[in-house]
Amino acid sequence: MNVRYLASRILVLTLGAGIAGAATAGPAHAQSPLHARIDAAAAQVNERVVAWRRDIHEHPELGNREFRTAKLVADHLSSLGLEVRTGVAHTGVVGMLRGGRPGPLVALRADMDALPVTELVDLPFASKVRTEYNGQEVGVMHACGHDNHVAMLMGAAEVLAGMRDELAGDVMFIFQPAEEGAPAGEEGGAALMLKEGLFADEKPDAVFGLHVTTQPVGTIGYRAGGIMAASDTWRMVVRGTQTHGAYPWRGVDPIVTAAQIVLGLQTVVSRQSDLTRAPAVVTVGQFTGGLRSNIIPDTVVMVGTIRTLDPEMRTDVHARVRRTAEHIAAAAGATVDVHINLGYPVTFNDPDLTAWALPTLERVVPGKAQQRPAVLGAEDFSYYAQETPGLFLWLGIVPEGTNAADAPSNHSPLFFADEGALPIGVRALTHLTVDFMAAQAN
């Protein structure tokens, strides 16, 4: 069944109305004995979920090197009787759970990699791991919370496997490496999993994922449309004519030209983009040129990033960045080579799937499913959501009594996740799965 048709049948709810309409949702969202079983099973497996999370946290691994984590996952999925594939996109693990009755295929995804960050949190299971990254010895830490994601999806797999005979459909569990990016010279992450045929033989009807973040524990954040940005990098080489600093008229100054390009790029966002549609950012992060005070060089190199939340705006901003740089350079008698490298696309939540999911989220966290603003960070869950309707959620992990605004953010060496979020994540993934299957059957 088409998700748009599903949404229109199951739920008549505008996003502007928010959660208030949840009580009138269709039968697929009503509390059922199966939902009660999910909650009981999630509570029963929670001690193991916490143990998995702590074990993974204490033994973090960088992207495409998640060997220990992948074995832990694969062994667990095999013990549940799932069909298990390993070595997908280097270290990825995929488990297939076959339900007892025909129905849709639901994909659930967790990322496994850690970051080159030295942990400063005082925990009994804090990471002491050190390794080499880009030629340097570094600490390794789950500073983005992927240890939580893996443990929750392992828990969801156990809960759903325990009721497989009652599932009207199948579940694909995706344990993905290298979400933070592959090592230099390597491919990785969601794009490589798809390139290697993840969805080629069996394409999911929907894909769900979540990410821990600095909002209060007990809350789930959602947003229809773009929830995380496309992340693209650019590099410009401005070429002039070198000359003596005392005689600038004898050459073409690439430093002044590049400075004018920096200023011109600011108008791409402030004057040329419709920011009522979605925000955008064009940042210059590196500006390199010249060797000494009395030489005007022939070349300046600039490097930066572009962040957008709308696919059409992404294309438009790229064109404007290129045009602005080329025309400013031409006006100065210089030239510029502009290279824009596409990174992760916009993480886009299917609007109909998002609206349909709201009553389920309200059941999981009554009164605490909250529409959240989009962020300009990026996520390679976006690649899955380009292939099939997707929903990506925020899971709060800031302890009660702590101001979320003051909590160390993801990627900080002080990042801390309250484990009270773990059973909520397990329940959210499993409730969404069984509700989606039920809705397709109706």
Each residue of 212-255: pLDDT tens digit?
999 999 999 999 999 999 999 999 999 999 999 999 999 999 99
- Cβ neighbors of 214 (< 8 A, separation 6 or more) are 396, 397, 398, 404, 407, 408, 409, 410
Mean pLDDT calculated for residue range 58-84 = 98
Q: Which of 320, 341, 362 is the last residue of a domain?
A: 341
The pTM of the full predicted model, rounded to 2 decimals, is 0.90
Instruction: Select from 359, 419, 431, 368 the least CA-distant residue to 394.
Output: 368
Residue 30 binned pLDDT confidence (cut-offs 50, 70, 90): low
- 242 and 196 in a single domain? The answer is no
Give the CATH number, domain containing residue 323.
3.30.70.360
Q: How far from 225 is each of 219, 264, 385, CA to CA, in Å?
A: 20, 29, 11
Q: Are residues 223 and 255 in the same domain?
A: no
My answer on whether 187 and 202 are in the same domain is: yes
Does residue 327 register a pLDDT over 70?
A: yes
CA 64/CA 72 separation, integer angstroms: 15
Statement: residue 189 has pLDDT above 60: yes
Q: Do 74 and 129 fall within a single domain?
A: yes
Residues of the chain with pLDDT > 70, as a percent, come to 93
Q: Which of 305, 326, 341 is the last residue of a domain?
A: 341
Domain shared by 187 and 299, yes or no: no
Torsion of Cα atoms, 59 then 157 then 5 then 363, to 10°: -90
Residue 99 amino acid letter:
G
Rounded mean pLDDT, 141-169: 98
Mean pLDDT score across all residues of the chain: 93
Q: By the 8 A CB rule, do 232 and 306 touch?
A: yes
Count of domains forming the chain: 2
Of the candidates 222, 344, 383, 384, the residue annotated as catalytic is 344
Question: What residues form DSSP beta bridges with 254?
Answer: none
Shared domain check, 204 and 186 = yes
Of the CA atoms within 13 Å of residue 379, those in its CB half-sphere come to 31
Residue 254 and residue 207 share a domain: no
Q: Are residues 330 and 240 in the same domain?
A: yes
Here the CATH number for the domain that contains residue 96 is: 3.40.630.10
Mean pLDDT in residue range 8-18:
32
Same structural domain, 76 and 174: yes
Handedness of CA 438, 175, 81, 86 (dihedral sign): positive
* Domain end marker among 323, 341, 359: 341
Q: pLDDT-derived band of residue 21, with 50, 70 and 90 as boundaries?
A: very low
The pLDDT confidence band at residue 6, using thresholds 50, 70 and 90, is: very low
Encoded tokens for 318: 């790229």
User: Sorting pLDDT into bands at 50, 70 and 90, what band is 31?
Assistant: confident
Give the Cα separation of 319 and 315 in Å (integer).
Answer: 6
pLDDT in tens, 80-124: 999 999 999 999 999 999 999 999 999 999 999 999 999 999 999
Residues 172 and 42 in one domain: yes
Structure-model confidence comparison of residues 441 and 60, the more confident one: 60
What size, in residues, is the chain?
442
Query: Do 216 and 292 reside in the same domain of the chain?
Result: no
Q: Are strands 390-398 and 168-176 parallel, antiparallel or unpaired?
A: unpaired
The pLDDT value given to residue 231: 97
Tokens of 53: 């999370």
Query: Is 344 an active-site residue?
Result: yes
Q: Are 223 and 98 in the same domain? A: yes
Domain range spanning residue 141? 3-228+346-441
Q: What is the DSSP letter of 399?
A: P
